[in-house]
Amino acid sequence: MHVIHTAREMHEWSLAQRAAGKKIGFVPTMGYLHRGHLELMKFQRARCDVLVASIFVNPTQFGPGEDFGAYPRDLDRDTALATEAAVDCLFFPAVAEIYPPGYRTYIDVELLSDTLCGAHRPGHFRGVCTVVAKLFNIVAPDEASFGEKDAQQLRIIRKMTEDLNVPVKVLGFPTVREADGLAMSSRNVYLTPGERAQAIALYRSLGRAQTLAAGGETDTASIIEQMRTLITSDAPAAQIEYIEAVDDATLQPVTRLEGPTLIAMAVRVGKARLIDNVLVDRNKEQADARG
Ligand code: AMP
């Protein structure tokens, strides 16, 4: 596996692969790799000739007082894991390589960035879009894969590539979970054993939402209320930042479950801010049930 630190070398490596007729797949990450990242990499690896992964803890997507400094980092471990996942090239730039002094350009995707995490982390998606656009230009991949765990991020990146005519196919990949259902995340390392046990309440509340929807409940306020009750009783350490039901395409709140609806949440458990979501599509379920 090649490890590359500069944008120029990375771009040259990719151009050489393209000249050789290779299809390039790309998985951007912030490192501290876990099985969610590795399965995402294996998925993308199987679809292309060469796989590039990046590790970059992007300062512009962290707000003041957030965990940029504390975010877990372990390059030696990540290098070993990326090698096992058959990554061909690991791009690991320094902050000054991506944002040299005098850097001035940012990308905002309107509307989709206003709700869910965007409402609680001002500027977060501006930072995400900016770094992903830069990484796309540097790596010049044919395809790039992103996890559904970060559902809003995936939808915003899809919109950005569409709006800016970026010639990269953006793919989504299902959330990889621990055996008990907790969505894998680099931030799970912040949880104490007691908090880890309580964190399962997020997944259970999403299961409750699905059960209610399958039983015919269409009032999103009622579903959200029952999710809140479950989390509050099962996880006293949890502080709910938001639970929302939004239209899957526009990410704007909906009062009824009609078309595809994303039920998404951010919950603080101790030092960890955990996010999770489920896509509920009653029309599809009814059609599936009819066969
Ligand atoms: P991160 O390092 O957290 O920025 O994540 C890098 C990529 O991995 C993003 O596309 C995430 O959505 C994806 N990812 C993170 N956790 C998971 C998971 N548990 N399952 C699937 N994809 C994930």
Residue type, 14: S
For the Cβ of 147 lying below 6 angstroms from any atom of ligand 1, the answer is yes
- Cα(97) to centroid(ligand 1), Å: 23
| pLDDT reported for residue 289 | 67
Split at pLDDT 50, 70, 90, the class of 17 is very high
- Cα(164) to centroid(ligand 1), Å: 23
Condensed to tens digits (0 to 9), the pLDDT of residues 137-192 reads: 999 999 999 999 999 999 999 999 999 999 999 999 999 999 999 999 999 999 99
Contact status, residue 163 vs residue 248, Cβ threshold 8 Å: no
Q: What is the DSSP letter of 253?
A: B
Pairing of strands 238-247, 89-91: unpaired
For the Cβ of 175 lying below 6 angstroms from any atom of ligand 1, the answer is yes
| pLDDT reported for residue 2 | 97
Report the C-alpha gap between 264 and 244 in whole angstroms.
6
Condensed to tens digits (0 to 9), the pLDDT of residues 75-123 reads: 999 999 999 999 999 999 999 999 999 999 999 999 999 999 999 999 9
Contact status, residue 82 vs residue 41, Cβ threshold 8 Å: yes
Candidate from 26, 78, 117, 149 with most ligand 1 atoms within 8 A of CB, to mutate: 149
- Cα(186) to centroid(ligand 1), Å: 9
| pLDDT reported for residue 63 | 96
266-288 mean pLDDT: 90
- Cα(198) to centroid(ligand 1), Å: 21
255-278 mean pLDDT: 97
Q: What is the dihedral of CA 192, 196, 198, 204, to 10 degrees?
A: 160
Split at pLDDT 50, 70, 90, the class of 291 is low
Give the CA count within 13 Å in the CB-facing half-sphere of 26.
26
Q: Which residues are part of the catalytic machinery? A: 37
For the Cβ of 126 lying below 6 angstroms from any atom of ligand 1, the answer is no
22-38 mean pLDDT: 98
Q: Alpha helix (H) ranges present in the chain?
A: 7-19, 35-46, 75-84, 95-98, 116-120, 124-139, 151-163, 193-214, 220-234, 282-290
Ligand 1 atom 10 nearest Cα:
146
| pLDDT reported for residue 282 | 75
Q: Is the pLDDT of residue 284 over 90?
A: no
Split at pLDDT 50, 70, 90, the class of 72 is very high
Candidate from 40, 182, 189 with most ligand 1 atoms within 8 A of CB, to mutate: 40
Contact status, residue 94 vs residue 6, Cβ threshold 8 Å: no
184-213 mean pLDDT: 98
For the Cβ of 149 lying below 6 angstroms from any atom of ligand 1, the answer is yes
From the alpha carbon of 147, which atom of ligand 1 is closest?
12
Report the C-alpha gap between 217 and 227 in whole angstroms.
13
Radius of gyration for the alpha carbons in the chain, expressed in angstroms and rounded: 19
Report the C-alpha gap between 72 and 147 in whole angstroms.
19
Q: Is the pLDDT of residue 34 over 90?
A: yes
Contact status, residue 198 vs residue 274, Cβ threshold 8 Å: no
